[in-house]
Amino acid sequence: MKFKHIAPVLALVLTACESQLNLSPVTNLTNVTYYKTADDAKAAVGACYAAIGYNDPFLDLVSTDDAIPFLTGAADRPLLWRYNITPSNSFVSFYSGAYNGINRSNIVIGRLPGISMDESLKKRYIAEAKFLRALHYFNLVRLYGDVPIVTTETTSLEGLALPRDPVAKVYELIETDLKEAEAVLPKTYPASESGRITLGAVKGILAKVYLTRAGTTAGSSYWAQAATKAKEVMDLGVHDLYANFADAFALTARGGKENLVEIQYLTDVRGHGDGRGYGVRSAAIYPGTGSGIARPTAQLYNLYADKDTRKAVTFLTSYVYNGVTTNLSISDPDFTKAISFQKRWDKTAKTAGGEGTSKTILRYADVLLMYAEAANEVNTGPTADAYAALNKVRTRAGLTALSGLTYQQFKEAVWLERRLELVFENNRRFDLVRTGRLLDAVKAETSFGRNPTIQPFHVLLPIPQADMDANPLLKQNDGY
């Protein structure tokens, strides 16, 4: 897989030297000779995991009411925040990366049937690839709406221009892939296989798909499907909340009971930079110092009750360096003095971008809250099980259990809990869009002179300009 992607680059580099060198092949590795063994199959599936995509929380934070971007430097950041969004904005370009991941899944789905290997393992690998393909399409359809459906490997530059398929067809593929994966994948793996997609992961993402499809439609059949799938995860007996909220983001949580879908990192080996990237700007407490690319809004910060244990885990309000304490502010315009996000900060990392905390795509707390929301819709009011799911999340955070709420009060309580529990995990924008609240939420957040020019069409992002240029059959989303 590595040689396949490096080869075109090597060809360009070596052309200038060709006349001076006696070149001979160093390998016969090609698409024809690869995908022959079980090890090839395992590596191909690994390449699918490596392209899992859409993990930087920046878009989710600053296109909603959760954060303010650093207002100097990269111009695209404040333009996105103020909703002066163009197809050339670098922070809306998730399109080509998703299709790269889709192509890797298509390779596995198309090539592995021809490999002579253990049949049950082969089926599992294909199921994993189908899950990952569905996840890419789920992100694409939620971000951009109609998108081209590609289910076979791209083997040449011919036929790459494809029109967009309607949202309903994309969801059909997503649901088919997930259901086929659901029929194959196991509940658990040995520790050596930690991080692979499990049955709970598939059911949990299916619940989110159904919740999204239900949207704002009262009485939609998708509400019952969402509740059913979430409950199936709860009944597996595999997943649970950690006793303490902080433990869900500790290095020890990697592969743990609360993370259903995650990207696992290794500190100072293959890490991420979310801690320092979203940390206090110029603070020397991070390797390479903090970047401060986005800070929480006062509106978000002030929603947390003082006794809410999630507050201290999510936000950094002061730090000590060389014996000097620096207290941070939610309102000071100086980003070097701003309260910052610290939810994914790996304090053991010694290198910039070396943090090893997992990036969660689906946590068990999310499943509980999806179940509570869907069950409330199905029964036009909260049931005992819906209360139990919601209150399990609340009491873990040190809050009192809720009771005696109306249908609408319970719905809004779940929405609030999702915001407090899942901030910095790429959920807020999707939640606001699916519940029809994005415009109102953005318009209500005007701190730091935001003055957002958001319009109804902004519930979808523009197709990135580079992808429009590469595919003449694509039609841009309305408004852009």
pLDDT, tens digit, for every residue of 372-428?
999 999 999 999 999 999 999 999 999 999 999 999 999 999 999 999 999 999 999
Tens-place pLDDT, residues 267-293: 999 999 999 999 999 999 999 999 999
Tell me if 340 is assigned to some domain.
yes
Task: Determine contact, residues 347/283, Cβ cutoff 8 Å.
Answer: no
Which pTM does this prediction carry? 0.93
Confidence of residue 53 (pLDDT cuts 50, 70, 90): confident
Whether 372 and 430 map to the same domain: the answer is yes
334-339 contacts: CB < 8 A, separation 24 or more?
Answer: 335/70, 335/280, 335/281, 335/292, 335/295, 336/280, 336/281, 336/282, 336/283, 336/292, 337/280, 338/280, 338/281, 338/292, 338/295, 339/295, 339/296, 339/301, 339/315
The verdict on residue 442 lying in a domain is yes
Report pLDDT for 32: 63
Q: Are residues 368 and 300 in the same domain?
A: no
Q: Rounded to 10 degrees, what is the CA torsion of 162, 165, 170, 172?
A: -120
Band of residue 34 on the pLDDT scale cut at 50, 70, 90:
confident
Residue with tokens 């390479």: 288
* Band of residue 477 on the pLDDT scale cut at 50, 70, 90: very high
Amino acid 155: pLDDT: 87
| pLDDT on residue 208 | 98
Among the listed residues 139, 60, 50, the one whose alpha carbon sits nearest the alpha carbon of residue 425: 60
Task: State whether 279 and 347 are in the same domain.
Answer: yes
16-25, 72-81, 361-370, 399-408: range with lowest mean pLDDT: 16-25
Any domain includes 229 = no
- Would you say 274 and 294 are in contact if contact means Cβ atoms under 8 Å apart? no
Proportion of the chain above pLDDT 90, given as a percent: 90
Domain annotation covers residue 106? no
**Residue 321: inside a domain:** yes
What mean pLDDT is reported for the chain?
Answer: 93
Q: How are beta strands 67-69 and 324-327 bridged, if at all?
A: unpaired
Q: Please answer whether residues 400 and 249 qualify as being in contact, where contact means their C-beta atoms are separated by less than 8 angstroms.
A: no
Whether residues 375 and 342 fall in one domain: no
Give the pLDDT band of residue 304 (cuts 50, 70, 90). Answer: very high
Token digits of residue 105: 């899944």
pLDDT for 327 beyond 70: yes
**What's the CA gap between 223 and 397, in Å, rounded?**
27
Question: 381 and 326, same structural domain?
Answer: no
**Final residue in a domain of this structure, among 334, 357, 380:** 357
Residues 318 and 369 in one domain: no
Above 50 in pLDDT, residue 16? Answer: no
Number of domains in the chain: 2
Cβ 218 vs Cβ 407: under 8 Å: no
Q: Measure the CA–CA gap between 190 and 232, rounded to whole angstroms.
A: 22
Q: Which of 329, 357, 385 is the last residue of a domain?
A: 357
**Judgement on whether residues 371 and 450 belong to the same structural domain of the protein:** yes
- The whole-angstrom separation of Cα 258 and Cα 393 is 12
Please check whether residue 178 lies inside any domain of the structure: no
Q: What is the largest CA-CA distance in the chain?
A: 82
**329: containing domain:** 274-357
For 429, the token pair is 């924008």
Residue 211 falls within a domain, yes or no?
no
d(CA 390, CA 393): 6
Judge contact between 367 and 260, C-beta under 8 A.
yes
Do the domain assignments include residue 470?
no
Q: Is 263 within 8 Å of 52 (Cβ atoms)?
A: yes
Same domain? 450 vs 371: yes
**pLDDT value at residue 30:** 58
**What local confidence, expressed as pLDDT, does residue 33 receive?**
66
- Give Cα 76 distance to the centre of its chain: 21
Are residues 286 and 275 in contact, defined by beta-carbon separation less than 8 angstroms?
yes
